[in-house]
Chains A and B, each alone.
Chain A
């Protein structure tokens, strides 16, 4: 029991830091739409640089990727596991450059209570991770736009969808 808890403590360190970063970015919050957009962009860009760095470390000894789908699968399995301690639950694609990744239990949102009231704040908590993914893909040679959506499914499960659109 205690071993399990200890394993999650290092994750907790990141979560505390992540939340504080969000508070910092938003503290001078004028709550206009443009301000919000700027804050989200700042967070996303931070995530981008971290993602780039992380993926370099992670793929140091990995073999070349065969194709784009291979890269996506890597992101869904290895990258997601390293960063979020679990794999993506579902990957869908239209084979034309759009990928939808679904995570049914996104860890960075797990601390926010389930319910409607946090929904408007969810984007803040997702921007950094979107940047992470965009940064990782960028280092792997894929230019993309990454957006995320949170929906609450019946039975109080939150599902987070990450939409990756290849951009040229």
Chain B
């Protein structure tokens, strides 16, 4: 009986380990392909963006969440639904700016960095930068332009991982011109 349940939790864990190890292999490959960390960071952001613009549809289909009323609601959905769904962790939402247009996602424990150590010659690498791209791409598809960056990173010695998200503006829907 307990062996059964070990299997299912193992299998979920395994899946996240598959993801984590694959991500590690990707970053390793990028470090080989590009000369410096800045380029790798950019590439990770770009790939993340590509994933984000597709992931949003998958997310909306799975979660049946309606339009968010404001940025606060968006933050909650990102933390409590999206992160939980795809990465199995729930960051906390804190450090709201007085204007309500900027907040932090705090991750006690970032699944992407299990088993990872940054070597000294890669001190400016933002290892999990893919996540920034994903968030940016996904939100762009729901008409929000945001700026996403890592404020703290456990791989670089901080206690927690902090992602800072800032609302820039609402994107106007561009209706196709002409024929239709």
Contact = CB atoms under 8 A, between A and B. Distances in A.
B14 A9 contact: no
A20 B133 CA distance: 12
B159 to A, nearest CB: 25
For A2, A7, A17, A23, which residue has the most chain B Cβ atoms within 10 angstroms?
A17
Contacts of B11: 81-82, 85
A6 B58 CA distance: 11
Given A10-B12, A16-B51, A82-B11, A46 B19 contact: no
B19 A17 contact: yes
A10 B25 contact: no
Contacts of A11: 15
A14 B14 contact: no
Interface residues of B, number: 30
A77 to B, nearest CB: 11
Nearest to B10: A82
Contacts of A9: 58, 62, 85-86
Interface string B5-29: 0000011101111110111111011
A56 B43 CA distance: 30
Contacts of B21: 49-50, 53-54
Given A18-B22, A46-B25, 10 more contacts: A9-B86, A10-B85, A12-B55, A17-B51, A20-B50, A42-B29, A50-B21, A53-B115, A83-B14, A85-B15
Interface of B: 10-12, 14-19, 21-26, 28-29, 43, 47, 50-51, 54-55, 58, 62, 85-88, 115
12 contacts: A10-B15, A10-B85, A16-B54, A17-B19, A18-B22, A21-B26, A23-B50, A49-B28, A50-B22, A54-B14, A54-B18, A83-B15
